[in-house]
């Protein structure tokens, strides 16, 4: 039994080395690229299915312009009407009016939009999509492929003038079948006929009343009708209605509505535009009438003040005679008259606005602010006037009162006359720029957007799936990272070999690549590993026995053991390959040996070692595992395995033990106590970091230190190794 000094210490495991880098993340995608592509394609497929199966929705929109100034001839009224807010029409307020319940209700009733209409007998599954790609006939109907006129392919339109049902049938499904020649019949949801009639002629039966205004459809087309309560339908429409200014301060806003029925959407939007326009005209007329009424109440008061001011001025002139008015007094008179007139107009505006606004609202606050400014200006002028002689002060005041009251009176009279004209011919301050047209193509689903989102979602979930798969498996791909994690030097990195892979697939065929090939990358890597192993053994006193193991099966340890033994023998060293895997021996794949007799028979005492050792060459001998046995652990725990190794040590220069993997069984741990050096094989992508760490820890618990790692099946990633990876692929192509 061999024990080396210091072999009791545990390996220095670096857990920080497990942190993922960007290269690791990208390598995960590259490693599980088929999973990534399958999820990506699934996302694209779902996007395609959505495009085919989703109900198309068509958008209709109308444009309405709000004018800053009415086009009626107001003439000199413009200043006063702006002060009275006759022409004010904030765009945001008009948008709120356009989507108000009042306007939408009027539109719904005018367009009979309480009833939702849909074509029932469309072609299953792909019908709606086909309607977007098939050609359209002159009558607006989509052409029926292969003469399949029993289906509705698109372009069908049913316009109702009215549709009333019993209260109990609100929200219930009805069916209207077009019979051709302007004839139709109405059925309930059970298929019972309710009434029939002719296009353009009202029909009634009991509480059912309907007017079919027009039908564009082939005979046999079925329409589903659902009559909703007016207010409920109005609320649903308002939720879907989009009203917004086209761009900031443009004075134009858009009314947009989307529905599965393009004709319904266009008809509803146009009805809303008309209802808004009528509402706008009505509101403007009411505002003009209110302003006119307000002016008419102010005119008598102003006229009385004017008469009083004129009488006072005439009395002053009779009493005092003529007054010499200089340039300064004339200037003060003009300024004072202007300020006082502005104050009177602001007061009139304030009185008018109090009926429309409350304190704290911007328009009313602006008028109050203007009044304060005018009061300050008036006080400043009064201070200057007080410095004049008393007679001139009195004259100035009387002359100013007459001038102000006269200008105000004349202005109010003109305004009153022009408001009468405006009231009689008021057309509102809104105009419909564009009416809605029936959309030919659906706005949704958007095939490009659906596929883009499907692909994006597929790529995202595919990326997540690859990371989760890599995280769950923890497979080793980078020898440097493995070396950093377990704190053990890597003695050899063995690349994959197409030749070895091809030969390994052949049944009942032995192939030892180092004996058959000489210049392949794998053989060169094996020769380098053999030299490293020889030097490492030379540093150990009496070092002859090398144990080669792995964490789990299928890591290539038997391949490595056989080829190392052959290469060392070729160097002139008498070498024995000891196949100690008595459960799953694989040495026979590389050497022609008798698998019936071997180590199991020797440990059981059936044979002597010399009787079962094969001798492929003078220096290369092999002791096969022998018959498979379930008692391998018991045989190894006996006292005869150690003496066997010691006897072989005396006979050979180097003994290479091909042991079972560490994790499945305890055989490797038991054998390692008799070895001078332990090599651990890890195959790229076939073992996890956790499995390697656990195996190294188990060996450490029995006092065995792993002397070196052998990284097998190496395929360098172009993301991590760049040029080296390309060079490796080139060399492998020559293999």
pLDDT digits (tens, 9 = 90+) for 146-170: 777 778 888 888 989 889 999 999 9
pLDDT in tens, 1-36: 454 433 444 455 454 555 567 777 887 788 788 899
Predicted pLDDT of residue 324: 55
Question: What pLDDT does 706 receive?
Answer: 94
Q: What is the pLDDT of residues 617-650, one digit of tens each?
A: 899 999 998 888 777 777 876 678 889 999 999 9
Provide the pLDDT for residue 723. 44
C-alpha 116/C-alpha 227 separation (Å) is: 7
Asked if the model's pLDDT at residue 504 lies above 60, the reply is yes
pLDDT in tens, 169-218: 998 999 999 998 899 999 998 889 899 999 999 999 888 999 998 998 89
Q: How many CB atoms lie within 10 A of CB 386?
A: 9
Q: Give the separation between CA 380 and CA 332, rounded to whole angstroms.
A: 11
Give the pLDDT confidence score for residue 439 in this predicted structure. 82
- Whether the per-residue pLDDT at 609 is higher than 80: the answer is yes
Residues 175, 225: contact at Cβ < 8 Å?
Answer: yes
pLDDT in tens, 480-496: 888 888 889 999 999 98
* pLDDT given at position 563: 92
For the chain, what is the largest distance between any 2 Cα atoms, rounded to a whole number of angstroms? Answer: 161
Q: How confident is the model at residue 724 (pLDDT cuts 50, 70, 90)?
A: very low
The answer to whether the CB of 276 falls within 8 A of the CB of 98 is yes
Give the residue among 708, 630, 710, 628 at the shortest CA–CA distance from 675.
708
pLDDT at res. 7: 43
Distance between CA atoms of 439 and 141, rounded to whole angstroms? 14
Q: How confident is the model at residue 547 (pLDDT cuts 50, 70, 90)?
A: very high
Least confident window among 124-138, 260-274, 647-661, 701-715: 124-138
At residue 545, the pLDDT reads 95
Q: Name all domains of the chain by residue range, CATH numbers in brackets.
A: 22-54+445-470 (no CATH), 59-276 (no CATH), 280-433 (no CATH), 476-502+516-733 (3.40.50.300)
> What pLDDT is recorded for position 73?
31
What pLDDT is attached to residue 561?
93
* Structure confidence by residue, pLDDT tens digits, 317-368: 677 666 555 555 666 656 666 766 676 677 767 766 666 666 666 666 677 7
665-704 pLDDT, tens digit per residue, is: 888 888 898 999 999 999 988 888 889 999 999 999 999 9
Give the C-alpha separation, 642 to 139, whole Å: 99
Question: Who wins on pLDDT, 720 or 222?
Answer: 222
When the pLDDT of each residue in the chain is averaged and rounded to a whole number, the result is 79
Tally the C-alpha atoms within 13 A of residue 402's C-alpha that lie toward its C-beta. 14
Q: Phi/psi at 655 (nearest 5 deg)?
A: -120, 120
**Distance (Å, whole) CA 648 – CA 98:** 101
Write phi, then psi, for 513 (nearest 5 degrees). Answer: -65, -35
Percent of all residues in the chain with a pLDDT value above 70, rounded to a whole number? 76
Question: CA angle 546-551-552, nearest 5°?
Answer: 115
Q: 88-122, pLDDT tens digit by residue?
A: 446 778 888 888 889 999 988 888 888 888 888 88
């Amino acid at each position: 039994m061999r024990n080396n000094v210091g072999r009791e210490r545990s390996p220095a495991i670096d857990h920080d080395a497990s942190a993922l880098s960007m290269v690791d993340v990208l390598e995960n995608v590259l490693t599980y690229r088929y999973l990534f592509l399958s999820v990506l394609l699934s996302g694209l497929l779902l996007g395609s299915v959505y495009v085919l199966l989703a109900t198309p929705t068509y958008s209709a929109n109308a444009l309405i312009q709000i004018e800053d100034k009415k086009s009626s001839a107001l003439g000199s009224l413009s200043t006063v009407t702006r002060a009275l807010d006759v022409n004010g029409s904030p765009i945001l307020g008009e948008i709120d009016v356009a989507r108000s319940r009042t306007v939408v209700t009027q539109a719904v009733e005018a367009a009979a939009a309480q009833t939702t209409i849909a074509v029932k007998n469309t072609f299953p599954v792909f019908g709606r999509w086909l309607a977007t790609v098939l050609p359209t006939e002159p009558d607006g109907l989509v052409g029926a492929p292969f003469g399949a006129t029993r289906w509705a392919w698109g372009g069908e339109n049913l316009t109702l003038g009215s549709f009333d049902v019993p209260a109990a049938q609100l929200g219930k499904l009805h069916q209207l079948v077009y019979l051709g020649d302007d004839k139709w019949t109405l059925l309930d949801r059970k298929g019972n006929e309710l009434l029939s009639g002719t296009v353009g002629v009202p029909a009634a039966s009991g509480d059912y009343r309907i007017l079919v205004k027009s039908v564009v459809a082939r005979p046999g087309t079925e329409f589903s009708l659902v009559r909703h309560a007016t207010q409920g339908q109005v609320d649903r429409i308002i939720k879907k209605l989009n009203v917004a200014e086209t761009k900031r301060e443009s004075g134009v806003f858009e009314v947009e509505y989307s529905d599965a029925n393009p004709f319904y959407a266009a008809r509803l939007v146009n009805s809303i535009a008309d209802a808004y326009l009528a509402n706008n005209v009505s509101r403007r007329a009411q505002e003009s009438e209110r302003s006119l009424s307000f002016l008419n109440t102010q005119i008598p008061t102003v006229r009385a003040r004017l008469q009083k001011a004129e009488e006072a001025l005439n009395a002053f002139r009779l009493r005092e005679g003529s007054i010499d008015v200089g340039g300064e007094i004339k200037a003060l008179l003009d300024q004072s008259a202007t300020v006082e007139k502005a104050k009177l107009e602001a007061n009139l505006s304030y009185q008018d606005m109090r009926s429309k606004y409350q304190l704290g609202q911007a328009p009313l606050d602006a008028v109050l602010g203007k009044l304060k400014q005018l009061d300050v200006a008036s006080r400043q002028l009064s201070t200057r006037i007080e410095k004049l002689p008393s007679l001139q002060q009195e004259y100035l005041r009387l002359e100013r009162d007459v001038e102000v009251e006269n200008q105000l009176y004349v202005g109010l009279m003109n305004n009153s006359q022009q408001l009468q004209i405006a009231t009689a011919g008021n057309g509102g301050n809104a105009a419909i720029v564009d009416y809605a047209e029936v959309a030919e193509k659906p706005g949704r689903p958007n095939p490009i957007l659906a596929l883009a989102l499907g692909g994006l979602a597929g790529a995202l979930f595919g990326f997540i799936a690859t990371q989760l798969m890599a995280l769950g498996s923890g497979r080793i791909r980078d020898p440097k990272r493995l070396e950093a994690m377990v704190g053990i030097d890597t003695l050899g990195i063995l690349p994959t070999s197409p030749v070895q892979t091809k030969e390994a697939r052949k049944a009942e065929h032995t192939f030892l690549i180092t004996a058959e090939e000489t210049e392949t990358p794998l053989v060169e890597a094996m020769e380098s590993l053999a030299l490293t192993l020889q030097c490492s053994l030379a540093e150990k006193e009496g070092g002859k026995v090398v144990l080669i193991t792995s964490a789990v099966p299928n890591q290539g340890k038997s391949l490595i053991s056989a080829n190392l033994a052959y290469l060392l023998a070729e160097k002139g060293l008498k070498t024995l390959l000891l196949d100690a895997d008595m459960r799953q021996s694989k040495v026979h794949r590389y050497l022609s040996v008798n698998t019936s007799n071997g180590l199991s028979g020797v440990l059981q005492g059936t044979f002597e070692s010399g009787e079962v050792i094969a001798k492929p060459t003078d220096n290369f001998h092999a002791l096969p595992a022998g018959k498979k046995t379930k008692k391998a652990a018991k045989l190894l725990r006996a006292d005869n395995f150690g003496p066997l190794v010691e006897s072989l040590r005396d006979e050979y220069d180097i003994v290479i033990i091909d042991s079972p993997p560490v994790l499945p069984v305890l055989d490797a741990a038991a054998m390692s106590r008799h070895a001078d050096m332990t090599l651990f094989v890890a195959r790229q992508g076939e073992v996890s970091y956790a499995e390697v760490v656990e195996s190294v820890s188990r060996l450490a618990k029995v006092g065995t230190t792993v002397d070196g790692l052998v990284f097998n099946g190496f395929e360098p990633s172009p993301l991590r190794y760049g040029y080296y990876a390309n060079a490796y692929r080139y060399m492998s192509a020559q293999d």
